[in-house]
Amino acid sequence: MEPTPNFADPTDALSSVPAAGSRRAVPVVGHLRFYYGPMDCGKSTLALQVDHNQARQGRRGLLLVHLDRSGKPQISSRIGITRTAIEVHVEVDLRDLVRQRWACGDRVDYVIVDEAQFLTPDQVDQLAELADDVQVDVYCFGIATDFRSRLFPGSRRLFELADELQPVQVDVLCWCGLPARFNARVQDGDVVRDGNTVLVADTDDTERDLHSVVATTTVRYQVLCRRHFRLGDLGPSVAAHGQLQLT
Ligand SMILES: [Zn+2]
């Protein structure tokens, strides 16, 4: 909105708002955006929607993913939509991916990254560079905190660098009905608070995490409110699991 202070002196050198004439000189840059939320809040669905909207405008983009829930190089949403994506491992320089497209004569107007919490901090820096230097719009989607309630390193770097931070506004609820912001790792019915940060439970690729081969059969994740995450309380449905129903 245009600031309209009464009787403001347009030559006021102390004003932090640039005058209209100088605003035109602001360089064109891309934006780095981070959409974050707990598991199951619809981030992948939103990522695919953003891609659809951008593509409809005639823009060309790259879809990147790190460890999709399907274990395949694709972005898959829980409501059944799937798009092929490029799997980015920790050693991939994301600037090189864009340069390779250029070398093939392709434009890259935007980049979408799903499971962005698994990016390395260096890769987040590379995305910021793409936004600043070659005007690529970057849309990252991911989980902010891990099962210990600590920021993922990639998410931390995104919080530090992103132009825009957006919580994904699909309510995910704890069993008690409160908003669930925490992703608890559950093993044999108990909340566990230490172990490897990255543990993909729903993939067959056991080579990915040899130490977790045994655990993959019994590990699952459950979203909880802060109080029940703190208490490690998984709710009555879990306690009743395997017991006779009393109703
Ligand atoms: Zn709760």
What whole-number percentage of the chain has pLDDT above 70? 76
Ligand 1 mean position, distance from CA 228 (Å): 5
Among residues 152, 135, 133, 246, the alpha carbon closest in space to that of 198 is found at 152
Q: What is the mean pLDDT of residues 203-215?
A: 41
Q: For residue 216, give the 3-state DSSP assignment.
A: helix
Ligand 1 mean position, distance from CA 97 (Å): 42
Q: How confident is the model at residue 27 (pLDDT cuts 50, 70, 90)?
A: confident
Query: SS3 helix, strand, coil % of the chain, rounded to 5?
Result: 30, 20, 50
For residue 79, the model assigns a pLDDT of 78
Q: Is 207 a catalytic residue?
A: no
Containing H/E element for 98?
helix 94-103
What is the domain partition of the chain in residue ranges?
29-170, 172-236
Residues that place a CB less than 5 A from ion ligand 1:
174, 176, 178, 225, 228
Ligand 1 mean position, distance from CA 173 (Å): 8
Is the per-residue pLDDT at 177 higher than 50? yes
CA distance 42 to 118: 17
In this structure, the strands spanning 110-114 and 86-87 are unpaired
State the average pLDDT for the chain. 82
CA distance 71 to 115: 12
In this structure, the strands spanning 86-87 and 61-65 are parallel
Q: Which of 115, 160, 164, 207 is catalytic?
A: 115
Considering the segment(s) 29-170 as one domain, its CATH architecture is 3-Layer(aba) Sandwich (3.40)
Which range, of 100-109, 151-160, 171-180, 200-209, averages the lowest pLDDT? 200-209
Is the per-residue pLDDT at 67 higher than 80? no
pLDDT per position as a tens digit, 82-96:
888 999 988 999 999
CA distance 149 to 153: 12
Q: What is the mean pLDDT of residues 200-217?
A: 43
For residue 16, the model assigns a pLDDT of 58
CA distance 127 to 105: 21
Helix 94-103, helix 121-134: angle, nearest 10: 40
